[in-house]
A and B are shown apart, each in its own frame.
Chain A
Amino acid sequence: MSSEGEQPMSRSTTRRALIAVLIVGAAGCGGPARYVNPTADFSAVKTVAVLPFENLSGDKVSSERVQRVFLTELLVLNTFQVVEPGQTNYSIRRANVDVSALTADDIKKLGTELKADALFTGTVIECVDRAGSAEGSRLSLQLRLVEVETGQTLWSSSSTRKGATFGSRMFGFSAKPSTTVAQELIRDELHGLVR
């Protein structure tokens, strides 16, 4: 409990801090951190919606860009029916839901309106766009698939990808641009999910 005069930490701030700690922890361990709910029945997940991604990076448009890369890669995967993004955005506004601090009730309300079985959420932790340099771009992303009915996390992943290549490090060639880095990271994570 906060002492008198102090501003209590908002749910959103607490969550952001927690995500940052998890990501730092995951990065320290050297690889992506993935979680699959052992009780999850993925065969029941037919229709999904992709919510706007949260942005903790310094690049103010990175979340929008990464979310659009994610949407396209998810469609390419052709595993789920994906709710039309215009419908998703409209329902979020109408339900007056804060996607950065979703409660189980919010998820149920939103998912029911969207006729979705599960919702994808994402958080861009870090996005550095240095395509022209040897060190290249860098993206840290957290993804989550939440079941509408129960509000339970079915799957989550936290991973970091760099755009630097052997050629860029050794010979100063241009490294991969941030969109390519995002595509590769998301593709790998989604393939990990449906495997």
Chain B
Amino acid sequence: MRRSSALGFVLALALGAAASSAGAATASPNRVVLLPFDNIAHAADGAAVVTSKLELALAARGYEVVRGGSVEELLRAGRVRYLDSVPLKVLHELAERHGAGGVVVGSLLTWTSGVPTVAVSARLLAPDGACLWSNAAALAATETGGAFGRGRVKELELLARRATDRLVATLPAPADLGRARPRGGGGAAHVTQYRSPELFAKPRRLAILPLENVADEDASVARIVDALLRNRLAVHSGLAIVEPAELRAAIVAEGVTTLWGASPEKLKKVGDRVGTTLFLRGAVLRGLLDPEQTVELHLYIVDVEARRVLWSALQDRSKAEFEKLLGLGNVDASVTVADRVVFELVESLYEGH
């Protein structure tokens, strides 16, 4: 966790306390604003349920949670369309107006009833946009209960509660915020990768472009992996991640209609707006619906000014491999396998750095 982020958090509290505008509330070190979940799973009920469950889970960790009317009013006024990331101005206003030191944004990744499965991701952002904490959690009903399926959780709502409890398990107590470190999940695996020494030669920002979905599945698959990737990258300090809201604004301003087909010149202009020449691109080659339950990703970072690839890596994991070789237990939520692949790729990016 960056020291500047922790300082930002403290500064935000101080700013909140000193706020003189009529709408500003007195800052509380424990207070966070919780936004409604971004609904990647296209399950309206599910998004509402996990938002409520996360509120309870945050409260249990010692946070005072602000959500509902006044928050949604600010989101409407700021014309916020995607809830996984909000423009910096809106983020700052949300925190200041409610006297909060941070804003929690989350995404509902999976909400299925066949084999009941819930997957969620969330980030705690400081008013200056720095990520203070992030995590993702997935749970299938078949992963719960004991021998012969006794005590198995069958209701999605109960599963959502367990998934959100698992999600906040890595969230530090309010007094300890700013001390979080990249979370593990087993050691980093061998990943075939190329990395140019130029990548970390100087502090840089990295803009993450939407992943291509080569696996030809549900379009939301690429968004799920995108959310997992953002979470895993956010906790490393080597490359500062451009907030999606900031990138979206730059894309709109440059009139880019398709990012996959955008010319390098156009991407360079988008990069100028967000202060970087580095873009992360990639593809979901085999995804969450693969019959072999294998997730395979290719990620690469390009410098649009130098027109060079600075990092390229491929990794795949199957559900069976996850259980047997990695010894990480039974998993039926494909998002857990995808998160493992993302973890290994991100760890390989920072390996030795």
Contacts and interface: CB of A to CB of B under 8 A. Distances in A.
A72 B264 contact: no
Given A86-B267, A93-B261, A131-B318, A72 B214 contact: no
Given A76-B192, A84-B302, A179-B314, A68 B283 contact: yes
Interface string B260-275: 0111100100000000
A163 B192 CA distance: 18
Chain A interface main SS type: helix
Kindly name the residue among A60, A75, A82, A177 whose own CB sees the greatest number of chain B CB atoms within 10 A: A75
Contact of A132 (B264, B267, B292): B292
Given A86-B302, A132-B320, A177-B294, A75 B264 contact: no
A73 B300 CA distance: 13
B309 A73 contact: no
Contacts of B216: 60-61
B86 to A, nearest CB: 28
Given A71-B312, A84-B307, A131-B318, A65 B294 contact: no
A83 B283 CA distance: 18
Interface residues of B, number: 32
Interface string A101-129: 00000000000000000000000000001
Interface string B280-293: 01010110000010
Contacts of B316: 177, 179
A152 interface: no
Contacts of B285: 61, 64-65, 68
Kindly name the residue among A89, A93, A179 whose own CB sees the greatest number of chain B CB atoms within 10 A: A179
B215 interface: yes
Given A61-B285, A65-B214, A89-B261, A177 B309 contact: no
Kindly name the residue among B215, B216, B308 whose own CB sees the greatest number of chain A CB atoms within 10 A: B308
A57 interface: no
A13 interface: no
B292 A72 contact: no
A89 B258 CA distance: 13
Given A75-B312, A84-B302, A90-B264, 12 more contacts: A64-B283, A65-B298, A68-B314, A71-B312, A72-B300, A72-B314, A84-B309, A85-B309, A131-B318, A132-B320, A177-B318, A179-B316
The 10 closest A-B pairs by CB, nearest first: A75-B194, A68-B298, A72-B312, A76-B194, A84-B302, A65-B285, A64-B214, A84-B307, A87-B264, A75-B312
5 contacts: A72-B314, A76-B194, A131-B294, A174-B320, A177-B294
